């Protein structure tokens, strides 16, 4: 059914019907949360094996219990290198949070400058490009440093490269871009080879322009036919632009969320630059925890097997929501579209323009918490008031049924309210 | 023997004799390191029990495996609170490095300001007071941020309070002071109650002056009669100056060095201020690791028992060096004095003025690495060229015998070279 083709009378009938459904929902006082991309209990249970892998009498490299090795243990540098398509020497293993490494990377650039360039703090204004919709915590971090954010529209191939190439070629106060290149948060799309190549090789006016390549979902599949992300570091090396790239990832959604191991990967020159500051910042990260991770993860085949087991847990959760949306709306419904991600943690939904806040409000009143409308845009401002992010992984199957029932009803009401005027 | 009372002839004979000894030492090509305060294998072995405390089938709070709890798990907040004499609510548990928390605290003050005050980056110059001799990493961090450092002489009671009170009362660009108040690095002294009280209650011209109270050795005893450090937070609360204090510690020398758990403790207003920025910086620290620490450490009685076992390992190492110094020099020898710490990780040695660099150089040539001369002073500059720091804990008993033999010989040679001129 295409709602936009209906008459006012028809719309009013539908609205009345949905309002009745809404009233029933509210009466049941549900309390369901699909706001954050958190792993569920069954996923985390998989990683419990890790905790038994090192015990009091384990044979284990003694040096890992003491100070030193700022760059992390060789085993995890190697494994992260394989995960990201770089060499072990291009990896620094961090603490439990890749967001923390991103913050620190921006902080060092603000305070000290990047590889000998002028500290970003010494500019009146600097700017970051923000493909939208995107990850709210990237934007919040950037705003907190007082960096101006410029929205870059995304399509199924990634951010609009014509716009990006134009902007970075004329403005040397544009210092960075946030990218979640594989299974993008929230749309789930993977950057095309062309987009990756253009990002790696474009001319930038700023010598210290940096791509913050947050490859958070590099092995986080939801199907047996993974998207293939081009190796940006390899392409950049061929073009001599390898210093442009900071790559981040973590095991937060491979082992324990918030208690995993993170890393930053970058060119040899960047790694030297980072370590030259990092040595004042900390003595070393948790090498015992790094080693426990290595014992559990071992190699890429094993990582893929672990992620396949996680897929078996969470893919059905995505299907529950996607099926409900399909059954209730179908394609060409005129009021809502959504993404069908092949990996990552989110479904992105575009509701009828001007309705996202209203949908979120209706959901909230009905006991369903979703990510705040606007959160996927810099400054929390979605001009079209249209995008909503759904995170199905943490929620039980039973609650997901409830969540979809509420969501479908609220999306319909918000659209019908506008269409029926 | 008081070397300064000897005749030139006597000095020359002694110098010749020591040079012969030095020649013998060099011929043996020793390679011994007493430079850094690292725990030794036997200490670290004690903590191996921790690794067996959480296994795949352990019953354990599920929430600790997921995102959230930026301030840390309640159990470790409580335990650190007891360790530091503050409430659990005044503690944020961090990652594996208290130095990292210190860096972050300075960084936030530089970038955002402290509790609404002007960001320190917006001053032409700001200054920190640095009791000397002190911890080289405090000074390096401070210098890296471009903060000017002012030396404050220390005696057995702590830093010179008359000087501090004068300086902070007239200069509002003095923003901080570094303190290792118990078993100070490197002198081993514990601040007297009067010093603690005066620091807590003095008038400061800067409203955002902060005491960086690095209580690294709060439970790190070398005798059965611990020094008692006054509770600075309690004293400050009575004076209404509690916002002045940031307290740091970690378990790096209780469990694993560089893989422990750190914390910052501060007033409620400071904790709010810190968390308001920290929320952009990370999602949470490693709560699984925090919980493993709590399982192992449990309560203060158990922590004290663990530290008593560590004392049994390392106190003899200190005695080896102290006895050798006593046997070879005695008191009133005129060329070298040293501290006899009741806790912590260091012996501080004052050699004949103008000789520290020469001693370090002689040691190095003879195969003994000691902390660089000057390292215990801001900018690496010890005007009197006199202070050396000795870290006995990491070294085997056999190597400690060698180290003391080399050290004694080099201290004598350097002094005799000057006296015999």
Residue A33: strand pairing partners: A369
CA of B211 vs chain A CAs: smallest distance (Å)? 19
Residue A182 near residue A191 (C-beta atoms within 8 A): yes
What are A325-364's pLDDT values in tens digits? 999 999 899 999 999 999 999 999 999 999 999 999 999 9
CA of B136 vs chain A CAs: smallest distance (Å)? 11
Q: Does the beta-carbon distance from B68 to A258 stay under 8 Å?
A: yes
One pLDDT digit (tens) per residue for chain B, 421 residues: 899 999 999 999 999 999 999 999 999 999 999 998 999 999 999 999 999 888 888 888 999 999 999 999 999 999 999 999 999 999 999 999 999 999 999 999 999 999 999 999 999 999 999 999 999 999 999 999 999 999 999 999 999 999 999 999 999 999 999 999 999 999 999 999 999 999 999 999 999 999 999 999 999 999 999 999 999 999 999 999 999 999 999 999 999 999 999 999 999 999 999 999 999 999 999 999 999 999 999 999 999 999 999 999 999 999 999 999 999 999 899 999 999 999 999 999 999 999 999 999 999 999 999 999 999 999 999 999 999 999 999 999 999 999 999 999 999 999 999 999 8
CA of B140 vs chain A CAs: smallest distance (Å)? 7
Kindly indicate the confidence band of residue A52, based on its pLDDT and cuts at 50, 70 and 90: confident
Helix (H, G, I), strand (E, B) or coil at A180: coil
Nearest to B403 by CA among B325, B312, B336: B325
- For the cut 90, the answer to whether the pLDDT of residue A219 exceeds it is yes
The predicted complex's ipTM stands at 0.96
d(CA A104, CA A122): 17
> Any idea which residue has 């352990």 for tokens?
B58
Instruction: Tell me what pLDDT residue B57 has.
Output: 82
Q: Which residues of A touch B286 (CB under 8 A)?
A: 95-96, 258-259, 286, 289
Q: Does the beta-carbon distance from A44 to B55 stay under 8 Å?
A: no
> Any idea which residue has 């305060």 for tokens?
B37
CB atoms within 10 A of CB B145: 18
Alpha carbon of residue B272 to chain centroid: 27
d(CA A314, CA A316): 5
Q: Does the beta-carbon distance from B282 to A51 stay under 8 Å?
A: no
Q: Does the beta-carbon distance from B259 to A283 stay under 8 Å?
A: no
Q: Which of B55, B65, B257 sits opposite A65 (nearest CB)?
A: B257
Peptide linkage before B186 cis (omega within 30 of 0)? yes
Looking at beta carbons, which pairs linking B141-147 to residues 24 or more positions away fall under 8 Å? B141/A280, B141/A281, B141/B99, B141/B102, B141/B103, B141/B106, B142/B106, B142/B178, B142/B378, B143/B378, B143/B379, B144/A277, B144/A280, B145/A111, B145/B106, B145/B107, B145/B110, B147/B106, B147/B120, B147/B175, B147/B176
A85 φ/ψ angles, rounded to the nearest 5 degrees: 75, 35
CB atoms within 10 A of CB B38: 21
Q: Across all residues in chain A, what is the average pLDDT? A: 97
Nearest to B257 by CA among B294, B216, B229, B298: B216
Nearest to B370 by CA among B138, B148, B37, B6: B37
Instruction: Tell me what pLDDT residue A404 has.
Output: 96
Instruction: Tell me what pLDDT residue A312 has.
Output: 98
CA of A267 vs chain B CAs: smallest distance (Å)? 23
d(CA B110, CA B122): 8
Count of residues in chain A: 421
Choose the mutation target among B124, B149, B283 for the interface with A, i.e. most A CBs under 10 Å.
B283
Q: How many contacts does A have with B, using Cβ atoms within 8 A?
A: 158
Q: Does the beta-carbon distance from B288 to A144 stay under 8 Å?
A: no
Residue B268 near residue B237 (C-beta atoms within 8 A): no
Residue A404 near residue A2 (C-beta atoms within 8 A): no
Nearest to A287 by CA among A46, A77, A100: A77
- For the cut 90, the answer to whether the pLDDT of residue A15 exceeds it is yes
- For the cut 90, the answer to whether the pLDDT of residue A59 exceeds it is no
Residue A60: strand pairing partners: none
Radius of gyration of chain B (CA): 23
Q: Does the beta-carbon distance from B258 to A140 stay under 8 Å?
A: no
Residue B366 near residue B25 (C-beta atoms within 8 A): yes
First to last CA, chain B: 19
Nearest CA in chain B to A278: B100
What are the CA-CA distances from residue B347 to residues B31, B133, B225 (Å)? 20, 12, 18
- For the cut 90, the answer to whether the pLDDT of residue A388 exceeds it is yes
Q: Which residues of B touch A288 (CB under 8 A)?
A: 51, 256, 259
Query: What would the two tokens of residue A60 be?
Result: 């284990």
Query: What would the two tokens of residue A84 be?
Result: 């990201």
What is the β-pairing status of strands B174-179 and B210-214? parallel
Q: Does the beta-carbon distance from B67 to A258 stay under 8 Å?
A: yes
Determine the Cα angle at B100 with ends B98 and B106, to 5°. Answer: 105
Q: Which residues of B touch A280 (CB under 8 A)?
A: 103, 137, 140-141, 144
How is B244-308 classified by DSSP, letter by letter?
GEEEEEESTTTS-TTSS-EEEEE-HHHHHHHHHHHHHH-S---HHHHHHHHHHH-SHHHHHHHHH
CB proximity list for B44: less than 8 A, separation 6 or greater: A62, A65, A66, B256, B257
Residue A160 near residue A152 (C-beta atoms within 8 A): yes
Instruction: Determine the average pLDDT of the residues in A114-121.
Output: 98
- For the cut 90, the answer to whether the pLDDT of residue A54 exceeds it is no
Q: Which of B52, B99, B284 sits opposite A282 (nearest CB)?
A: B99
Instruction: Tell me what pLDDT residue A320 has.
Output: 96
CA of B283 vs chain A CAs: smallest distance (Å)? 7
- For the cut 90, the answer to whether the pLDDT of residue A175 exceeds it is yes
d(CA B78, CA B93): 10
Peptide linkage before B56 cis (omega within 30 of 0)? no
What are the CA-CA distances from residue B344 to residues A87, A291, B369 (Å)? 40, 28, 20
Residue B63 near residue B281 (C-beta atoms within 8 A): no
Q: Which of B41, B103, B286 sits opposite A286 (nearest CB)?
A: B286
Q: Does the beta-carbon distance from A285 to B44 stay under 8 Å?
A: no
Nearest CA in chain A to B98: A282
Q: Does the beta-carbon distance from A51 to B54 stay under 8 Å?
A: yes
> Any idea which residue has 């520290």 for tokens?
B356
Q: Does the beta-carbon distance from A144 to B100 stay under 8 Å?
A: no
CB proximity list for B247: less than 8 A, separation 6 or greater: B84, B86, B213, B215, B232, B233, B264, B265, B266
Q: Which of B44, B280, B286 sits opposite A141 (nearest CB)?
A: B280
Q: Does the beta-carbon distance from B44 to A54 stay under 8 Å?
A: no
Nearest CA in chain A to B259: A286
Q: Does the beta-carbon distance from B281 to A51 stay under 8 Å?
A: no
d(CA B364, CA A393): 59
Q: Which residues of A touch B107 (CB under 8 A)?
A: 107, 111
B93 φ/ψ angles, rounded to the nearest 5 degrees: -90, 130
- For the cut 90, the answer to whether the pLDDT of residue A56 exceeds it is no
Q: What is the number of alpha carbons within 13 Å of residue B172 lying toward its C-beta?
A: 7
- Dihedral of CA atoms B259, B260, B266, B272 in degrees, nearest 10, equals 60
d(CA B318, CA A236): 54
Kindly indicate the confidence band of residue A57, based on its pLDDT and cuts at 50, 70 and 90: confident
Instruction: Tell me what pLDDT residue A116 has.
Output: 97
Instruction: Tell me what pLDDT residue B58 has.
Output: 82
Q: Does the beta-carbon distance from A107 to B111 stay under 8 Å?
A: yes
- For the cut 90, the answer to whether the pLDDT of residue A323 exceeds it is yes
CB proximity list for A404: less than 8 A, separation 6 or greater: A320, A321, A324, A325
Residue A351 near residue A414 (C-beta atoms within 8 A): yes
Instruction: Determine the average pLDDT of the residues in A183-201.
Output: 98
Choose the mutation target among A43, A66, A145, A293 for the interface with B, i.e. most B CBs under 10 Å.
A66
Q: Which residues of A touch B282 (CB under 8 A)?
A: 96-97, 99-100, 103
CA of B132 vs chain A CAs: smallest distance (Å)? 19
CB proximity list for A220: less than 8 A, separation 6 or greater: A183, A253, A307, A310, A343, A344, A345
């Amino acid at each position: 059914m295409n709602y936009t083709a209906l008459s006012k009378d028809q719309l009013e009938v539908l609205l009345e019907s949905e309002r009745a459904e809404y009233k029933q929902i509210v009466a049941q006082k549900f309390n369901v949360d699909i706001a954050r991309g958190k792993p569920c209990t069954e996923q985390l249970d998989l990683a419990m094996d890790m905790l038994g892998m090192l015990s009091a009498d384990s044979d284990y490299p003694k040096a890992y219990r003491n100070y030193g090795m700022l760059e992390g243990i060789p085993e995890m540098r190697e494994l992260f290198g394989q995960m990201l398509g770089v060499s072990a020497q291009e990896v620094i293993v961090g603490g439990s949070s890749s967001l923390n490494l991103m913050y620190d990377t921006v902080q060092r650039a603000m305070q000290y400058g990047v590889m000998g360039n002028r500290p970003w703090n010494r500019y009146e204004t600097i700017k970051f490009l923000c493909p939208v919709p995107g990850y709210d915590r990237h934007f919040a971090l950037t705003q907190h440093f007082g960096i101006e954010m410029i929205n870059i529209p995304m399509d199924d191939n990634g951010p609009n490269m014509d716009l990006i190439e134009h902007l970075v070629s004329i403005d040397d106060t544009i210092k960075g871009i946030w990218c979640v290149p594989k299974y993008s948060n929230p749309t789930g799309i993977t950057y095309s080879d062309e987009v990756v190549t253009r990002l790696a090789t474009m001319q930038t006016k700023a010598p210290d322009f940096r791509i913050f390549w947050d490859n958070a979902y590099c092995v986080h599949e939801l199907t047996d036919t993974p998207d293939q992300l081009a190796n940006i570091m390899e392409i950049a090396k061929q073009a001599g632009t390898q210093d442009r790239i900071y790559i981040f990832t973590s095991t937060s959604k491979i082992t324990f969320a918030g208690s995993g191991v993170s890393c930053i990967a970058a060119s040899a020159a960047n790694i030297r630059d980072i370590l030259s500051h990092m040595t004042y910042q900390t003595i070393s990260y948790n090498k015992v925890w790094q080693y426990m991770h290595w014992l559990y993860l071992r190699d890429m085949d094993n990582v893929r097997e672990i992620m396949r087991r996680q897929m078996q847990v969470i893919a059905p959760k995505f299907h529950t929501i996607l099926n409900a949306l399909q059954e209730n709306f179908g394609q060409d419904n005129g009021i809502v579209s959504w993404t069908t991600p092949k990996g990552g943690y989110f479904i992105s939904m575009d509701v009828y323009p001007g309705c996202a806040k209203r949908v979120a409000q209706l959901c909230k009143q009905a006991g369903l918490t979703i990510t705040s409308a606007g959160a996927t845009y810099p400054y929390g401002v979605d001009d079209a008031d249209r995008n909503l992010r759904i995170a199905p992984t943490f929620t039980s199957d039973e609650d997901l049924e409830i969540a979809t029932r509420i969501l479908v009803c609220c999306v319909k009401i918000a659209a019908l309210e506008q269409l029926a005027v």
